Chains A and B, each alone.
Chain A
């Protein structure tokens, strides 16, 4: 029974870590989304340098996850986010507001999908 109890404790720990992981991902993606919104606003105003600053702030939040992202997320997901950020930056530097808008929508969509996957729902489980 000791082994079973220890296994129960380990399972509870894994469940707890899963819950923490979901909250952590939610917090990071929420902060990134706020920065992306600000970037979108600046871009619409034509203030591309400020938009790029907001984008860099979002990128810094992503980079702050560091090893966590590469340990817990699929490589395709991390690559998609990093590529999307690069695409937005290229559009902003080129002064292409429409292109930046499309790229930002794509980036937001990927982040939202990533957050949704960590949440327990019928869609994510099945």
Chain B
């Protein structure tokens, strides 16, 4: 049992490291090679965990090999654009200028029911409002509405808006994130004064505090301190 425990920890840490190095793309929508790698890795990792007679090295070598293959392929795809098309295909228009492209639907084995289902998922009931429906290489459907059906922007309504800026986290669960202070033009002195102004002794009693470049603050004190 101790061996299974130790192997699980080792494989977990190795997988964590590999996925971290592979990058955020692995966590979001997966391209074909990424999906294959993820499925394989899950299977390969479980084998030495289930059977302690199988050398742990077998699992680790397989995982590392997959990890290398994925990184090499990603690098080649980045370098050679044509390779991306050959491996992952190209996005295609299922609807173009409001017209359903029946040929593309058949080519991608995408039924009309699936198209309307995807549109409903994006709160679109009326196909007349759709300008483009693009099937991406990772299988997601992106919909671009007609301008007259798109939500109005502030500039179209001639509404003056101010940009509050990006909110930087300054305190997270009592811990001060010092590197964010210069980004919003503040310092630790201001932070301590702001805490006192909000009714707490110091940052250790704050659950969350963020501040934008324009000085808009969001504050949440720790429940025990209140």
Contacts and interface: CB of A to CB of B under 8 A. Distances in A.
A14 B62 CA distance: 10
Interface of A: 1, 3-8, 10-11, 14, 70-76
A3 B74 CA distance: 9
Given A3-B21, A14-B61, A74-B53, 16 more contacts: A1-B75, A1-B79, A3-B71, A3-B75, A7-B71, A7-B75, A8-B72, A10-B64, A14-B65, A70-B55, A71-B55, A71-B57, A74-B55, A75-B53, A75-B54, A75-B55
Q: Is the interface of B mostly helix, strand, loop or mixed?
A: helix
Contact of B54 (A5, A8, A74): A74
B67 interface: yes
Nearest to B23: A3
A14 B64 contact: yes
20 contacts: A1-B75, A3-B71, A3-B74, A4-B72, A4-B74, A4-B75, A4-B76, A4-B78, A5-B75, A7-B68, A7-B71, A10-B64, A11-B65, A11-B68, A14-B61, A14-B68, A74-B53, A74-B54, A74-B55, A75-B54
A75 B65 contact: no
Q: Is the interface of A mostly helix, strand, loop or mixed?
A: helix
B42 interface: no
A4 B57 contact: no
Nearest to B75: A4
Interface string B48-62: 000011111100010
Contacts of B70: 7
A72 B59 CA distance: 11
